[in-house]
Chain A
Amino acid sequence: QKEVEQDPGPLSVPEGAIVSLNCTYSNSAFQYFMWYRQYSRKGPELLMYTYSSGNKEDGRFTAQVDKSSKYISLFIRDSQPSDSATYLCAMSAKGRRALTFGSGTRLQVQP
Chain B
Amino acid sequence: KAGVTQTPRYLIKTRGQQVTLSCSPISGHRSVSWYQQTPGQGLQFLFEYFSETQRNKGNFPGRFSGRQFSNSRSEMNVSTLELGDSALYLCASSLGTWAGGTNNEQFFGPGTRLTVL
Contacts and interface: CB of A to CB of B under 8 A. Distances in A.
Interface of A: 31-32, 34, 36, 41-46, 49, 51-52, 88, 90, 92, 94-104
A56 to B, nearest CB: 12
Interface of B: 4, 31, 33, 35, 42-45, 48, 55-56, 58, 90, 92, 94, 98, 101-102, 104-111, 113
Contacts of B104: 32, 49, 51, 92, 97
24 contacts: A32-B104, A34-B106, A41-B113, A43-B90, A43-B108, A43-B111, A44-B90, A44-B108, A45-B108, A46-B105, A46-B107, A49-B102, A51-B104, A95-B98, A96-B56, A97-B33, A97-B56, A98-B45, A98-B48, A99-B43, A99-B45, A99-B92, A101-B42, A102-B42
Given A98-B56, A101-B42, A46 B110 contact: no
Nearest to B40: A103
B109 to A, nearest CB: 5
SS class, residues of chain B in contact with chain A: strand
A43 B109 contact: yes
A104 B110 contact: no
Contacts of A41: 113
